[in-house]
Amino acid sequence: MSLIEIPENPIPDGARDGFVVTPDKTKIRYAHWPATGPKRQGTVTLLQGRAEFIEKYFEVISDLRKRGFDVVTFDWRGQGGSQRVTRNPARGHVSNFSKFRLDLRTVLKEVSLAYYPGPHFALAHSTGALVLLSDTDRLRTMLDRVVLTAPLLGLPSGAWAPDLTAARRWLLRKLSFGLLGRPRLKAELPKTSALIEKVGFPMARVLSILGLGRLFVPGGNSEILVDFETNRQTSDKTRFDRFNAVLKAAPELGAGAPTLGWLSAAARTMLPFRRRDAGPKIKLPCLVLAAGEDKVVSTPQIEDFVSRTKAAAYVEIPGAAHELMMEKDVFRDQFWAAFDAFVPGYEVEIEQERARG
């Protein structure tokens, strides 16, 4: 078995794992579990975010199984236990998101649809949610409904250098005796980072064309561990420490900062969703959840997109950080309540159980 287990993060029982090979000859690590609930409700394929790995989702997998879902998940190429694509395995690199779409289609066809009955759902986070959204024309024939958490549709203002932004505001306040540099109201903030979109995206594109796409983005490195105090993913220290413990035990699962090529590929995938007709084109029913205090992706950009998408419903969880499924219980409970209301079958079964009492 290729799955990594530590005492504080045991492998859910009944796991089966292995590798599938994509049409472009890339090995993708996958794992799947049967449902443990009283009645099977279908199959959920779980899509991770950037630099994540199967082991990080053991708790979520158990939560889904208890609800009566078979669960399939996998590591994107270049991260977790899947094949790395650069000499330095810590580089979070991909040259085109079409390769991620190939990973997803391969797992759906060879694992999810091959092993488990429908209805078929997907639960996708951040980069995984962007990959899924970019391929809904194809996936609408494979999936019945999808739930997306904090999809990567834009980077928030100050995302590139948050410390520099804070320092600039502090200096302006001092020089202007408090008249300038005060934090703007949330409603007044730009939806995305102008610096990244006007400078970073074009720079990444040009440097990638020149053959430098495998370099880290400015300020990036191979470090896979961050301190809880500086992390932007979750406010739950217990869960954060658990994930770090997995990485300390198995650093080969980690991935460092993204590369210029990854940033360029992400930009080419994100920006088309700004077009007015992008939302109406999506026919696959979606529930989109956003985090009110997200510092990794742009929540206002997510809300703007959903407002133009008839097939999508929107829920924002105030106070939550980026990783809604890894947050404190007060936020996770809201996520699961929204999930249960959207994915057919679960709430009906609970009511029937109560009635039988």
User: What's the pLDDT at 195?
Assistant: 83
DSSP β-bridge partners for residue 214: none
Average pLDDT, whole number, for the chain? Answer: 90
Average the pLDDT over each of 90-94, 141-145, 158-162, 264-268 and give the range with the smallest value: 158-162
Query: Token pair of 252, please?
Result: 């080969």
Residue 128, in any domain of the structure:
yes
The pLDDT of residue 193 is 75
b/e map of 105-125 (b: 16 or more CB within 10 Å)?
Answer: bbbbebbbbeebeeebbbbbb
The Cα–Cα gap between 104 and 132 comes to: 8
Confidence band, pLDDT 50/70/90 cuts, at residue 167:
low
Domain membership flag for residue 94: yes
What per-residue confidence (pLDDT) applies to 171? Answer: 60
Residue 168 is predicted with a pLDDT of 53
As a whole number, mean pLDDT of residues 11-35 equals 97
Query: Residue 259: what residue type?
Result: T
Q: What percent of the chain has pLDDT over 70?
A: 87
Arithmetic mean of pLDDT, 72-86: 97
Residue 164 one-letter amino acid: L
Is 355 a residue whose pLDDT tops 50?
no
Q: What is the reported pLDDT for 38?
A: 81
Cα–Cα dist 69/35, whole Å: 5
pLDDT tens figures, 33-63:
999 978 889 999 999 999 999 999 999 999 9
Confidence check: pLDDT of 323 > 60:
yes
Instruction: Identify the CATH number of the domain in which residue 273 sits.
Output: 3.40.50.1820
pLDDT tens for 235-245 read 999 999 999 99
Give me the residues paired with residue 9 across strands. 6
pLDDT value, residue 189: 56
Whether the pLDDT of residue 357 is over 90: the answer is no
User: 332 CB contacts (<8 Å, ≥6 apart)?
Assistant: 324, 325, 326
Residue 351 covered by a domain: yes
CB 310 within 8 A of CB 280: yes
Asked if residue 336 belongs to a domain, the reply is: yes
Residue 248 falls inside a structural domain: yes
CA–CA separation, 341 and 320 (whole Å): 20
Helices marked H in the chain: 58-66, 98-107, 113-115, 127-133, 136-139, 162-175, 194-195, 201-209, 237-249, 260-270, 278-281, 299-307, 329-342, 346-356
Number of domains in the chain: 1
Inter-axis angle of helices 201-209 and 260-270, nearest 10: 120
Length of the chain: 357
Q: Is residue 349 over pLDDT 50?
A: no
User: Tell me: the pLDDT tens digits for 247-262?
Assistant: 999 999 999 999 999 9
Q: For 206-233, write each residue's pLDDT tens digit.
A: 999 999 999 999 999 999 999 999 999 9
Q: Is 175's pLDDT higher than 50?
A: yes
Work out the average pLDDT over 180-195.
Answer: 62
Q: Which two tokens stand for residue 246?
A: 């997995």
The model's confidence at residue 173, banded by pLDDT at 50, 70 and 90, is low
Q: Is residue 185 situated within a structural domain?
A: no
Q: Which domain holds residue 298?
A: 16-156+192-356
Express each pLDDT in 191-206 by its tens digit. 777 888 889 999 999 9
Tokens 């057919």 -> residue = 344
Kindly state whether residue 174 falls inside one of the protein's structural domains: no
pLDDT band at 334 (very low <50, low <70, confident <90, very high): very high
> pLDDT: is 38 or 171 the higher one?
38
Q: Is residue 1 situated within a structural domain?
A: no
Contact between 343 and 294 under an 8 Å Cβ cutoff? The reply is no
Nearest-angstrom CA–CA distance, 244 and 224: 9
